[in-house]
């Protein structure tokens, strides 16, 4: 908050330098109007997916494409280390994969297929999220010559897991 007050103060000073006071008061009236309009114009959808990944991760990019191809709006953040995001969002070492994503209050760890995320958002089970631990070949974004069988797991805050689906 303090930062924003300083920032607004600095902006006003810059404005005063180039504009007479009368115009400045007009601008002050418009600031909340524009800010409010921006809020309505860009609502954050509950089903928007936020992805934390390493900029070097190729399969992460492919998984993001898979989500977009299946109708998800995705916002990606390239981070130096994804580990703090895993810890913060309840992903244990046993569940860990390459990228960590958030959607509608759930954590999505690894190459979880879009169809499972859609089912999660429909059924809204009382879990922390879904995970495909490791990086099985044949998962969305990890397509290869062969396809390994894999489970999509649910996990709760204590790390307890269950099988959500089998592919």
Q: Which residues contact Cu ion (rule: CB under 5 A)?
A: 59, 98, 135
Whole-number minimum distance, CB 137 to Cu ion, in Å?
Answer: 10
The answer to whether 51 and 44 have CB atoms below 8 angstroms apart is no
Q: What are phi and psi of 161, to 5 degrees?
A: -115, 160
Indicate the residue among 59 and 127 with the shorter CB distance to Cu ion. Answer: 59
Q: Looking at beta carbons only, is 98 or 130 nearer to Cu ion? A: 98
Q: How many CB atoms lie within 10 A of CB 3?
A: 7
Q: Which residues contact 12 (CB under 8 A, 6 or more apart)?
A: 24
Least distance in Å: CB of 114 to Cu ion?
15
Pick 65 or 160: Cβ nearer Cu ion: 65
């Amino acid at each position: 908050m303090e930062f924003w007050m300083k920032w607004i103060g600095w902006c006003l000073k810059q404005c005063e330098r180039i504009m007479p006071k009368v115009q400045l008061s007009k601008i002050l009236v418009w600031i909340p109007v524009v800010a409010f309009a921006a809020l309505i114009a860009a609502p954050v959808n509950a089903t928007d997916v936020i992805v934390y990944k390493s900029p070097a991760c190729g399969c992460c990019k492919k998984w993001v494409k898979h989500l977009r191809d299946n109708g998800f709006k995705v916002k990606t953040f390239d981070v130096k280390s994804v580990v703090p995001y895993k810890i913060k969002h309840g992903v244990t070492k046993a569940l860990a994969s390459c990228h960590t994503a958030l959607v509608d209050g759930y954590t999505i760890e690894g190459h979880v297929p879009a169809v499972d995320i859609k089912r999660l958002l429909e059924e809204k089970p009382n879990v922390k999220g879904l995970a495909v631990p490791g990086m099985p070949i044949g998962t969305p974004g990890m397509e290869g010559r062969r396809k390994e069988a894999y489970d999509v797991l649910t996990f709760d805050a204590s790390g307890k897991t269950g099988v959500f689906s089998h592919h």
